[in-house]
Amino acid sequence: GAGVSQTPSNKVTEKGKYVELRCDPISGHTALYWYRQSLGQGPEFLIYFQGTGAADDSGLPNDRFFAVRPEGSVSTLKIQRTERGDSAVYLCASSWTENTEAFFGQGTRLTVV
């Protein structure tokens, strides 16, 4: 596609439920990043994939958060037993390995009620 695509654009879920957020990166981009942006804050790094493997997952807040990229393209961020504090906009970005510029998707706004 022309840009990074994230689905759904909005997700409302009940506390304790499981959610999956999807990211389709720009075709051919090998690097993929997940960020979380809370209201009034800058994007907070969660995890970075190079190809299929997670090169850096140091930003995942706890073991309820997990992300996969099984074929080195689409990625899914999974959140178990959601809490109200997980409410935020989850951003995905992709880039070429050799180019530091990251292209961002529009984000998924997650609301846990």
Partner 1 sequence: GDSVTQMEGPVTLSEEAFLTINCTYTATGYPSLFWYVQYPGEGLQLLLKATKADDKGSNKGFEATYRKETTSFHLEKGSVQVSDSAVYFCALSTLVTGGFKTIFGAGTRLFVKA
> Which residues of the shown chain bind partner 1 in the complex (CB under 8 A)?
30-31, 33, 35, 40-45, 48, 50-51, 55-56, 91, 93, 95, 97, 100-107
Query: Could you give the 3-state DSSP secondary structure of residue 86?
Result: helix
Shortest distance in whole angstroms from residue 55 CB to partner 1: 5
Shortest distance in whole angstroms from residue 78 CB to partner 1: 21
Alpha-carbon distance 69 to 50, whole Å? Answer: 9
Closest CB to partner 1 among 69 and 82?
69
Shortest distance in whole angstroms from residue 50 CB to partner 1: 4
Nearest of 86, 111, 110 to residue 22 by alpha carbon? 110
Closest CB to partner 1 among 50 and 76?
50
Widest CA span in the chain: 41
Residue 50, strand partner residues: 31, 53
